[in-house]
Amino acid sequence: MTELPLVSRYAKLLPPDEPDGPFLYATDHVVTWGDTSKVGYLYYSRLIEWQGHLRELFALDFLDEYVRMLLQGHLMLTQSLSCEYLREIDLGDTISERLAVSWVNGPRMLGDFTYHRATPSGEELVARGQQMWVNATPQGHPAPWPPSVLDTCRQLNIDVAEALTA
């Protein structure tokens, strides 16, 4: 499976890192002064904001029906997140941020984020993170992901074997 299965409007789809892995959803960030602190490097919280921007571009790009549900009160809750900082990121760096949804399990979904700096000879991994999301009713009760979300996941080669069916 090496073809890009869907057309993306807001970012790029990249082929899976591993043969059976999920497609990657990617966007570029150029680090400007406003992203840095007096220390001189990228301020750490910016990577977390970028996680939000990318996951939400993903929803706008691939999950039209789910976005409509969210606008009517349905909830996609952030349950937890983490981030590891491997190398300092500097002004002017171009960072490719990539999101791969690793799996859907019951009402939960795990997103893996990686951050790669463009270098003259290729790229290097500079940070990585995760977010765990829960699909919930407007009342806040965890619920199975809607079929339209699971359909998109399958097209992106995301493991939905443990997804509940409504």
Q: Determine if 60 is a binding residue for a copy of itself (CB under 8 A).
A: yes
> Between 128 and 157, whose beta carbon lies closer to a copy of itself?
128
Residue at token pair 């977390």: 48
**Distance, C-alpha 85 to centroid of its chain:** 17
Q: Total residues contacting a copy of itself (rule CB under 8 A)? A: 39
Q: How far is the CB of 19 from a copy of itself (least distance, A)?
A: 30
In sequence order, the 6+-apart residues with CB closer than 8 A to the CB of 157 are 1, 5, 16, 20, 21, 22, 23
Rg (the chain; Cα; Å): 16
81-100 positions binding a copy of itself, by CB under 8 A: 81-85, 88, 91-92
How far is it, in rounded angstroms, from Cα 125 to Cα 116?
A: 4
Angle at 100 between CA 81 and CA 52, to 5 degrees: 45
Residue 122 found at the interface with a copy of itself (CB under 8 A): no
Stretch that binds a copy of itself, among 42-50, 95-103, 107-115, 151-159 (CB under 8 A): 42-50
- Member of 2, 3, 33, 139 binding a copy of itself (CB under 8 A): 33
d(CA 136, CA 122): 41
Stretch that binds a copy of itself, among 12-20, 52-60, 98-106, 144-152 (CB under 8 A): 52-60
Query: What minimum distance in Å lies between the beta carbon of 6 and a copy of itself?
Result: 17
Cβ-contact 129, 83 below 8 angstroms: yes
- Residues of the shown chain interacting with a copy of itself in the complex, contacts defined by CB under 8 A: 10, 30, 32-34, 36-41, 43-45, 48-49, 51-53, 56-57, 60, 67, 70-71, 75, 77-85, 88, 91-92, 140
